[in-house]
Amino acid sequence: MFFALICHDKPGALALRMQTRADHLAYVERTGVVAQAGPLLGDDGGMVGSLIILDVADRAAAQVWADGDPYAQAGLFDRVEIVAWKRVIGG
């Protein structure tokens, strides 16, 4: 089952994002449940959040993954939404 994590960074947190990026990417690789992902961009093109599509068993598993993300553990996010998602286009 797919879940979209829509993560909004705290204002002015770009330095924290960059400091934590390597750990976040290693977590993505190690866990093996990320189907798609990338940063959300502000009007100026700067990173302001993340969109992460997880392929996990249920919402509880998505929450566990979200809680374990080094970005979340570092306090990067202002808020995170977890929404069930159905892939219609793309592979």
Set out the domains of the chain in order of their start, with CATH numbers. 2-85 (3.30.70.1060)
How far apart are the C-alpha atoms of 69 and 51, rounded to whole Å?
A: 13
Please answer whether residues 35 and 65 qualify as being in contact, where contact means their C-beta atoms are separated by less than 8 angstroms. no
β-pairing, 2-9 vs 77-85, is antiparallel
pLDDT per position as a tens digit, 17-34: 999 999 999 999 999 999
pLDDT for 42-55, tens place per residue? Answer: 999 999 999 999 99
What pLDDT was estimated at residue 39?
95
Task: Give the integer Cα–Cα distance in Å for 71 and 85.
Answer: 22
Classified as helix, coil or strand, 63 is helix
Record the pTM.
0.92
Tell me the C-alpha distance between 73 and 37, whole Å: 18
State the alpha helices, DSSP H only, in the chain. 14-31, 59-68, 70-73
Judge whether residue 90 has pLDDT over 90. Answer: no
